[in-house]
Copies of this chain bind each other. A is one copy, B any other.
Amino acid sequence: MTNGAQEITDKLVSRQIKPSVHRMKVLEYLINNQNHPTVEQIFTRLKSEVPTLSKATIYNTLNAFVDAHLARVITIEDHETRYDHIIEDHGHFKCESCGAIFDFAISLDSITAAELDDFVINDKNVYFKGLCSRCRYKNQTDILKGECICKQTPSKV
């Protein structure tokens, strides 16, 4: 499911971001690796392709993406800032035991609040915390500590 360069360029341009080589690489990474990467993960990976890469560029780029609503920050505590390419209609679940983050489908349209009728809502976020099925049954507290296995769907784990 590799995305073509044209698609990436179009996405950036449609959000008024000039498609520099590095920005394209970062967006491509986010689209093709929807595993809620940290800055560190993105940096390490892209550094191997572009050895001169600076971490500041990753920060700059991600901040620009967030401002432009091309990406969102998901912070389910722990000061491990992770980034998510914005795709509609999914929430996040974080297992308090193993630390894994799961995506799950949810209809964001159905989540409304009358009190906010006069507000403009640009972004809706839903996240749950608890125990994933694996930890619930096996109580394997130690395994997978901190690892993100979110490409697995919840039911598969």
| Chain A residues within 8 Å of B, Cβ to Cβ | 66, 73, 75, 77, 79, 81, 91, 93, 95-96, 102, 104-106, 110-111, 113, 115-116, 118-133, 136, 153-155
Q: Which residue of B lies closest to A96 (CB)?
A: B122
A131 & B119 in contact (Cβ 8 Å cutoff): yes
Q: Which residues of chain B come closer than 8 Å to A110, judged between CB atoms?
A: 110
A128 & B136 in contact (Cβ 8 Å cutoff): no
A113 & B118 in contact (Cβ 8 Å cutoff): no
Which single member of B75, B104, B116 contacts A104 (CB below 8 Å)?
B116
**In the complex, A93 Cα to B119 Cα: how many Å?**
9
B126 & A122 in contact (Cβ 8 Å cutoff): no
